[in-house]
Amino acid sequence: MTIPVAKLSNPAVRALVGAINDGDPTAFFAALTTDATMSDDGSDRPLAAWADREIFSSRGHMDVQAEKDGGLALIANYRNDTWGEMKTAWRFTVDGARVSRFETGQA
């Protein structure tokens, strides 16, 4: 069962997932701290280049299946035009009202 974005527990994570699903890079970067970092499959990546390639230019979309740790950990079916659909795990670090780090990879 998919959890609607509006029902995600953590407001910062909700804003980030909403921006991903809306294909809105302005909202995506507004949901992040200015020094945010990320990793994909255990390797740190340059955030802006990764987001452009894996989300925005390839029409990325998350269907959240489960959340835990107060909404800071998600299991989602993630799809984009490059890789198709895969089950992914996401973990977020929130600083104030914004995400300061996220880690993603296949679940």
Burial profile 48-57: b = 16 or more Cβ within 10 angstroms, e = fewer? eeebeebbbe
CB-CB contact of 93 with 80 (8 Å): no
pLDDT-derived band at 2 (thresholds 50, 70, 90) equals: very high
Q: How far is CA 34 from CA 28, 29, 30, 51, 101, in A?
A: 11, 8, 8, 15, 11
- Hey, which residues does 66 pair with through a beta bridge? 75
pLDDT tens digit sequence for 18-59: 999 999 999 999 999 999 999 999 999 999 999 999 999 999
Give the model's pLDDT for residue 41: 95
Residue 82 has pLDDT above 90, yes or no: yes
CB-CB contact of 38 with 104 (8 Å): yes
Q: Mean of the pLDDT values across residues 91-95?
A: 98
- The pTM of the full predicted model, rounded to 2 decimals, is 0.96
pLDDT-derived band at 1 (thresholds 50, 70, 90) equals: confident
Give the tokens for residue 82: 């490059």
Nearest alpha-carbon partner for 76 in 5, 6, 23: 5
Give the model's pLDDT for residue 106: 94
CATH of domain 5-106: 3.10.450.50
